[in-house]
């Protein structure tokens, strides 16, 4: 039984992480989950939140705004936007909120609930980071 698994986190802008980990806490759209070595295969969508990675290097946290996670023998996260939490500033958070509010305000009726939830999830992420979401 392996005690680590390969973890990769990428966004359109860059590759953020590629390392061996013992656990990854994922902000899943259908609820938070923790992936560990030998986890059952799963693909899930991400909601805005904090992705927490644990391994020999310690604990690292990343702010993500959405995307997908594929869990198998390894874990790959393809994020819409992702940054190490240490890089998230009030201006960056404001851009997350602005993008989500604009998408919500221009949404079709079918998409309105999901986009309104996205705005709420970003506000919750802001609170966890000690920042203020201006919605």
Residues 93-134 pLDDT 10s? 999 989 888 888 888 888 888 888 888 899 899 999 998 887
Is the same domain home to 26 and 71?
yes
Do 9 and 17 form a contact (C-beta atoms < 8 A)? yes
Kindly state whether residue 39 falls inside one of the protein's structural domains. yes
Is the same domain home to 9 and 35?
yes
The domain total for the chain is 2
Do 112 and 120 form a contact (C-beta atoms < 8 A)? no
pLDDT at site 70: 98
Is the same domain home to 71 and 121?
no
């Amino acid at each position: 039984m392996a005690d680590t698994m390969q973890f990769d986190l990428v966004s359109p802008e860059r590759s953020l992480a590629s390392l061996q980990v013992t656990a990854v806490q994922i902000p899943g759209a259908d609820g938070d989950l923790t992936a560990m070595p030998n986890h059952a295969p799963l693909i899930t969508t991400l909601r805005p939140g904090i992705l927490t990675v644990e391994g020999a290097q310690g604990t690292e946290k990343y702010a993500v705004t959405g995307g997908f996670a594929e869990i198998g023998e390894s874990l790959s996260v393809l994020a819409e936007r992702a940054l190490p939490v240490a890089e998230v500033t009030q201006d960056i958070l404001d851009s997350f909120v602005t993008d989500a509010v604009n998408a919500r305000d221009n949404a079709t009726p079918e998409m309105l609930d999901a986009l309104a939830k996205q705005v709420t999830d970003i506000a919750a992420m802001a609170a966890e980071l000690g920042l203020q979401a201006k919605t």
